[in-house]
Amino acid sequence: MTERLFEGADWDFHTLQRISDACEEVAMKDLGLDVYPNQIEVITAEQMLDAYSSVGMPLFYKHWSFGKHFAYHEASYRKGLMGLAYEIVINSSPCISYLMEENTATMQTLVIAHAAFGHNHFFKNNYLFKQWTDADGILDYLDFAKKYVMSCEARHGRVEVERTLDAAHALMSHGIDRYPGKKKLDLRAEEKRAGRRRQHEEEVFNDLWRTVPAGKSKSRSAISVERRRKLLGLPQENLLYFLEKSAPRLAPWQRELLRIVRHIAQYFYPQSQTKVMNEGTATYVHYRIMTKLHEQGRLTDGNFLEFLQSHTNVVFQPEFDDRRFSGFNPYALGFSMMQDIERIVTRPEDEDREWFPDIAGKNDVMGVLRDVWANYRDESFIAQYLSPKLMRHFRMFHLHDDPEERAGIRVDAIHDERGFRRVRRELARQHDVGYIDANIEVVDVDLSGDRRLIVHHRVIKGSQLNETDAKRVLQHLADLWTYDVALIEVDANDKVLREYVVSPRPIPAAA
């Protein structure tokens, strides 16, 4: 039992196998984790940079923007401004973890525990991921997307495809269904459907239809506004979905491209909502596994110290006036909250019993944590489980910055009895994507008139859109819609703050 997993820093593939077996033993027996099958891949720094530039995915369609990101990362990596991540993990089944070849044996152990068991368990069990992502199908779907984009380029030219993808990327963050209700995403079926759709189009294609004179279309003006909006499914906040279904002059392949971008955006949507939880889970899991391995004597003291050093680096939280401060570190916050829950469950104080009557003193740490990991996202997790003790530990305070206020920035609440709930509510809100992303929806289309698309931005707390960027995005939107687009920024009282109107750019004649 006390056989060491490895000595020193070197590792080979047998060592990796031993390490992952040992991690698996702890993860399954002691922590009761439930994971997708694991696939661990060792890669070089260059391959890591490659992965960076295509949002971490092992395969992706080709687009210049990924080249730009690659150039950027490469430049900062070469100058030493940026270290590379020790690992990248992909929410797929099997769950793929990339390990850098430079890592020492200790780091590989840490990374395997972190990614292949921590993240993996979270991906498989968290409700958001279950609801929104299809781990079994994602790699096949990306493969399909890559091939589809390639075939579009062959058929319609690179420039045309690039124009559509540019526009779709600009609207990517508004190509997400935020509310479940439709059936679970099944990317394999999606891929098959796309294939069938194309095949059907080709089979029923008959050039004769083009020559049939169009009859007089029914007058649409009779339709009431309400009815029209209902027919178009308005209001609609998923701009890409709306364009895919209703844009009047898009070619079928363009709609398919929008669909691909939309699906990929949807796939990443849960990740942006669970940064704190995801990292917190993975960090907590690797901490538990590493500690256990050390207790069993399978890690030497030296290796364990090496682990502790990089672990403390990862969970370091600079204070607000520190030069290194750039917001809350999701690793630090997540890990502390997980440990705090462990403490509440096993050694609660009176305060905890009052705040968390459900879990205080319940003694089943992993049971409680597994339940938390499955059923919360960052916003609800913080709102529910941030304890007064932790707020005191981080010395949290809430600042309210109203530009109208001459006196300066007001301290609204601090970590005291009066402030706990307000600080916690505010921090939870900061992690609510519904609150962070601009609230933009399509509200109406003037179908009988000039077909102008009308989009609203609901302004929250006076925070309007950046003008240059807004105009550019609208330009893309108009290009896809092919008629004028109006963006109206309205506040909570329906007062119009600002209005943009953009006309589509003429499409240069195909060469």
Partner 1 sequence: MAIHIIDRRLNPGGKSLENRQRFLRRAKSLVQGAVKKTSQERDIKDVLEGGEVTIPLDGMHEPRFRREGGTRDMVLPGNKKFIEGDYLPRSGQGSAKDSGPGEGDSEDAFRFVLSRDEFVDLFLDDLELPDLAKRKIAQTESEGIQRAGYTTSGSPSNISVSRTVRLALARRIALKRPRKEELEELEAAIAACTDEDERAELVAELEKLKAKSKRIPFIDPLDIRYRRFETVPKPVAQAVMFCLMDVSGSMSEHMKDLAKRFYMLLYVFLKRRYKHVEIVFIRHTDRAEEVDEQTFFYGPASGGTLVSSALQAMHEIVRERFNPADWNIYAAQASDGDNSYSDGELAGMLLTDKILPVCQFFAYLEVGESGGSAFDLSDSSLWTLYERLRGGGAPLSMRKVSERSEIFPVFHDLFQRRETNQEKAAP
| Cβ closest to partner 1, residue 369 vs residue 455 | 455
- Interface with partner 1 by CB under 8 A: which range of 127-135, 287-295, 311-319, 339-347? 311-319
| Cβ closest to partner 1, residue 357 vs residue 462 | 462
| Cβ closest to partner 1, residue 23 vs residue 372 | 23
Q: Contact, 334 vs 38, CB < 8 A?
A: no
Out of 5, 20, 331, 344, name the contact with partner 1 by CB under 8 A: 20
| Cβ closest to partner 1, residue 30 vs residue 322 | 322
Tokens of 11: 């590792």
3-state secondary structure 314-340: HCCCCCCCCCCCCCCCHHHHHHHHHHH
> How distant, in Å, are the alpha carbons of 202, 280, 436 from that of 426?
55, 20, 12
d(CA 198, CA 218): 29
How does 247-269 read in b/e, with b if 16+ C-beta sit within 10 Å? beebeebbbbbbbbbbbbbbbbb
* Minimum CB–partner distance for residue 40 and partner 1 (Å): 5
- Interface with partner 1 by CB under 8 A: which range of 65-73, 194-202, 290-298, 306-314? 65-73
Q: Contact, 77 vs 68, CB < 8 A?
A: no
- Residues of this chain, 330-349, that bind partner 1 according to CB under 8 A: none
- Residues of this chain, 146-175, that bind partner 1 according to CB under 8 A: 162, 166, 169-170, 172-174
- Residues of this chain, 451-480, that bind partner 1 according to CB under 8 A: 457, 459-466, 468-470, 472-473, 476
* Minimum CB–partner distance for residue 76 and partner 1 (Å): 8
Does residue 40 belong to the site contacting partner 1 (CB under 8 A)? yes
Does residue 21 belong to the site contacting partner 1 (CB under 8 A)? yes
Does residue 119 belong to the site contacting partner 1 (CB under 8 A)? no
State the sign of the Cα–Cα–Cα–Cα dihedral 357, 361, 367, 372. Answer: positive
- Interface with partner 1 by CB under 8 A: which range of 125-133, 198-206, 228-236, 319-327? 319-327
- Residues of this chain, 275-294, that bind partner 1 according to CB under 8 A: none
- In the beta sheet, which residues pair with residue 87? 99
Amino acid at 335: F
- Residues of this chain, 402-441, that bind partner 1 according to CB under 8 A: 402-403, 407-416, 418-419, 423, 426-427, 429-430, 437-438, 440
Does residue 71 belong to the site contacting partner 1 (CB under 8 A)? yes
Amino acid at 165: L
Out of 44, 131, 199, 221, name the contact with partner 1 by CB under 8 A: 44
* Minimum CB–partner distance for residue 487 and partner 1 (Å): 9
Does residue 373 belong to the site contacting partner 1 (CB under 8 A)? no
Out of 29, 180, 189, 320, name the contact with partner 1 by CB under 8 A: 320
Residues 6+ apart with CB under 8 A from 422: 398, 412, 413
Out of 399, 496, 501, 507, name the contact with partner 1 by CB under 8 A: 399
d(CA 346, CA 122): 23
> How distant, in Å, are the alpha carbons of 401, 409, 458, 461 from that of 404?
9, 10, 20, 12
Residue 337 sits at the vertex; the CA angle it makes with 336 and 341, to the nearest 5 degrees, is 115
